[in-house]
Amino acid sequence: MCRATHRREDVEGIKKMKITAINGSPRGLNSTTNIMIEEFLSGAREAGAQTENIILCEKKIQDCLGCFSCWSKTPGKCVIKDDMAELFEMIMSSDITVFASPVYVGGVTGIMKNFIDRLLPATDPHLKMDRDGIARHVNQHENHPGMVVISNCGFPDPDCFKYFRSIFSFIDSQGGLKLLAEIYLSEGPLLQVNDQGLSTIIQIYRSLLRKAGGEVVKNQAISTKTQIELEKPLIPYDLYIEMGNKYWNEKKQAKTNEHA
Ligand SMILES: Cc1cc2nc3c(=O)[nH]c(=O)nc-3n(C[C@H](O)[C@H](O)[C@H](O)COP(=O)(O)O)c2cc1C
């Protein structure tokens, strides 16, 4: 049973699961990340969830100071006064948090990394040894939310998400946020391409995201069938590389023509 079920909010007599998405793309509402989040949340709402999408680049979130006051002087609370206090409460009162970020140099974006660092007050400084003999933090909050990860990247190779996977599996291994599902889209910029030939492919992928959102609400997981479909490349690698190179050549040419 998912820990998340304890925090469902009673709205008009109906128990609703609360899902908060964090969009960590610096491109905010114009990002591919946002398209992915919105489709996922739409499927989640259809399945009965209550959802919110936070655009991180519109918030003021400073770097973690590394002072560990949240582990000693002000247990469970960060001493920095910025927008993180409100977001922290939102996350902790959610059933599921969606961490969504494009791949930047293999990992999450800078703003998403700051956000993750600032979740430190949710952990307890004490360590314990797990069954495999690996040291882990002891839980501070009993009912941490579940976690869904959404990402897209510019390269066609799904291997680009390997560091991403390891960051979120590390977070999961600390016993706090439980990793429920991961959605990784290589060839991400294609979702924004306005091309008749691609429209069916894009519509199918978008509907898979909605399906995934519904499945996570119902089962706290994405079914193997949906996951396999989500992981198929949108178009063959060689075609993607050809399209990408043509796009950048045309963009550079347009700039040259502007100055001619
Ligand atoms: C600074 C920077 C670093 C990037 N690093 C990678 C990378 O390591 N691997 C990759 O596949 N794409 C990389 N990209 C491309 C983005 O992941 C890609 O453009 C993505 O579609 C942007 O998503 P968004 O619209 O949601 O922000 C990088 C882009 C930027 C601006």
Rounded Cα–Cα distance for residues 191 and 185 (Å): 10
Rounded to the nearest whole angstrom, what is the distance from the C-alpha of residue 25 to the centroid of ligand 1?
9
Highest mean pLDDT among 62-66, 129-133, 191-195: 62-66
Q: Is there a domain that residue 201 lies in? A: yes
Residue nearest to atom 20 of ligand 1 (CA): 153
Q: Is there a domain that residue 155 lies in? A: yes
Residue 199, C-beta contacts closer than 8 angstroms, at least 6 positions apart: none
Residue 222 scores a pLDDT above 60: yes
Q: Which atom of ligand 1 is nearest to the CA of 106?
A: 8
Q: For the chain, what is the domain count? A: 1
Terminal CA-CA length for the chain: 65
Of the given ranges (48-52, 95-99, 256-260), which has the lowest mean pLDDT?
Answer: 256-260
Cα torsion angle, 161, 191, 50, 83, sign: positive
Query: Which of the 8 DSSP states describes residue 221?
Result: S
Of the given ranges (19-28, 118-127, 182-191), which has the lowest mean pLDDT?
Answer: 118-127
Q: Is there a domain that residue 246 lies in? A: no
Residue 10 scores a pLDDT above 70: no
**Strands 9-11, 14-16: pairing kind:** antiparallel
Q: Is there a domain that residue 257 lies in? A: no
Residue 11 scores a pLDDT above 80: no
- Other Cβ atoms within 10 Å of 95 Cβ, number: 24
Q: Is there a domain that residue 10 lies in? A: yes
Residue 13 scores a pLDDT above 70: no
Q: Which atom of ligand 1 is nearest to the CA of 105?
A: 8
Residue nearest to atom 12 of ligand 1 (CA): 154
Which residue, chain included where needed, has tokens 């190179």? 245
The token duo for 71 is 């582990």
23, 150 contact by CB (below 8 A): no
Q: Is there a domain that residue 252 lies in? A: no
Residue burial 165-198, b: 16+ Cβ < 10 Å; e: rest = eebbeebbebbbbbbbbbbbbbbbbbbeeeeeeb
Q: Is there a domain that residue 199 lies in? A: yes
How confident is the model over 151-179, as a mean pLDDT?
91
164, 149 contact by CB (below 8 A): yes
Q: Is there a domain that residue 255 lies in? A: no
CATH number of the domain within which 99 lies: 3.40.50.360
100, 151 contact by CB (below 8 A): yes
pLDDT of res. 257: 84
Identify the domain containing residue 58 by its residue range.
3-235
pTM (2 decimals)?
Answer: 0.92
Residue 99 scores a pLDDT above 50: yes
Which residue, chain included where needed, has tokens 């609370």? 77
The token duo for 36 is 């992915």
Q: What is the DSSP string of 84-106?
A: HHHHHHHHHT-SEEEEE---BTT
Q: Which atom of ligand 1 is nearest to the CA of 192?
A: 25
